[in-house]
Structure 1
Amino acid sequence: MSTRTIGRVIGMLFLSAFVLYGGGAALAGSASTVEAGAVLMVANCVAVATIGVLALRMLGTDAVPYLVGRVGEALLLAVGVVFVLLRAPVTDAAVDYSYQVAMLSLGIGSIPFCVALRRGGLVPYWLAMWGLVGYAVLALGAVAEILGYAVGVALSVPGGLFELTFGALLLVRGLPLRPGRGSRRPEPAGIASVA
């Protein structure tokens, strides 16, 4: 798969994650549709883990922290799905806690990803910085929520808007075959590009 195609798939997954988790959480809020919601939430877990795997393929070892963050996010969100399916009153707090720790994992793992995107010339400077700041603020919001301060939603906005913008950009154009100013980024060791 070419870098451009990998970028488009990542873009599709970024955008689908919003629909899958948001729709799943909405459906899980009703007793009659909780199972359908859980299926969508699990599909989101697969999507976010796949983003990490494809980023690793695209960026090589520069994306290892991102892969760890995305897999951590997926596993923690999956734990939340188990709590949703238990339907016990005490599980609401457990769902919220697992979600916040998942967002902390995403935020911390995504900061080096944004640096690698910029260093590789794969996105404009402003977009990489937006992502870096957005994910740092997301991580801070998750910590604040865990500590009992209800600011997580507001602090997730910059990172969420970055993901929507980045996802749409990738879906439309993929990642450039010639990043930066015409220099070709070599494929990571052991990864061959098949056009």
Structure 2
Amino acid sequence: MRRSSPTARLAGVLFILASATAIAGGSLLLPIQQPDYLSTGGRHAQLATGALLEFALAVSVIAIAAVLWPVLRRDGEHLAMLYVTTRTLEGVLIAAGATGALVMTSLAEGHAPTAAGDAVLGGRDWAYRMGTLVVFGASAVVLNALLLRGRQVPSWLAWWGLIGGGLLLVRGVIEVYGVELPVAAQAVLAAPIGIEEMVFAGWLIVKGLAPAESRGA
């Protein structure tokens, strides 16, 4: 029975860490979305924790690309570099969004004008949305195209990730153009890649990626 390599196991753990920090961080930062946040303020510790979790998310997604780079490049160096680039950009955008959340706490403490808060919150939302929807969706498409090309995982898993990443990318592009999708539609477009990433993480931890010498079998 094929056993996972340390590199694959580390990548799997990082995928799980990224998902956990995304969910927890986003939940803790919900108060800054309230219209009266600047006037009411408070919850500094909660918001700081949420921002730190988003910084951890940013580090995790960049680390995933760095860990997988030596393996992915064997099946297409240009595509592998594109994957590293998109995940790095995703991490930078998420970190920018987390910084925006921290700035919001400072504005609330200083009772800043609502216009200033709206501008910062808008910047945070755009950075986070571009990072976690558009760029992440694109990176998932690239990653699974590489996995499919190299037959490093079962084709059903790679196709699942490819389609799921494409659906998330479609949602991101729609939202960039100012169309606010119903919550149900948002979930339908985001759920496939979210679930697939956890299945993929489990596969990496338990099975790993197929070694080069076994792919022709």
Instruction: Determine if the TM-score, normalized by the shorter chain, exceeds 0.5.
Output: yes
Structure 1 stretches lacking a partner, 5+ long:
183-195
SS of 2:99's equivalent in the other structure is: helix
Structure 2 stretches lacking a partner, 5+ long:
32-42, 108-116
Which protein has the bigger helix share? 2
2:157 is aligned to 127
SS of 1:150's equivalent in the other structure is: coil
CA deviation after TM superposition for structure 1 residue 8, in Å = 1.1
- With 29-38 and 125-134 compared, the bigger mean Cα shift is at 29-38
4+ long deviations beyond 4 Å: none
Q: 2:125 aligns with which of 89, 96, 105?
A: 96
Task: Compute the TM-score of the two structures, normalised by the length of structure 1.
Answer: 0.85
SS of 2:153's equivalent in the other structure is: coil
Matched, 1:172 2:185: no
Please give the residue correspondences for 1:130-149 in structure 2 after superposition, counting only pairs within 5 Å. 130-149=160-179
Could you list the per-position Cα deviations for residues 11-41 of structure 1 after superposition, in whole angstroms to 9, with x for gaps in the alignment? 1111111111211122233523111111111
CA deviation after TM superposition for structure 1 residue 81, in Å = 0.6
Matched AA of 1:142:
G
Q: 1:179 to 1:64 in 2, by over 3 A?
A: farther
Q: 1:179 to 1:45 in 2, by over 3 A?
A: farther
Alignment: residue pair count: 181
CA deviation after TM superposition for structure 1 residue 181, in Å = 4.5
1:25 is aligned to 26
2:4·2:205 contact (CA, 8 Å) conserved in 1? no
Matched, 1:39 2:52: yes
Q: Which whole-Å CA distance do the structure 2 matches of 1:106 and 1:166 have between them?
A: 15
Task: Compute the TM-score of the two structures, normalised by the length of structure 2.
Answer: 0.77
1:191 is aligned to none
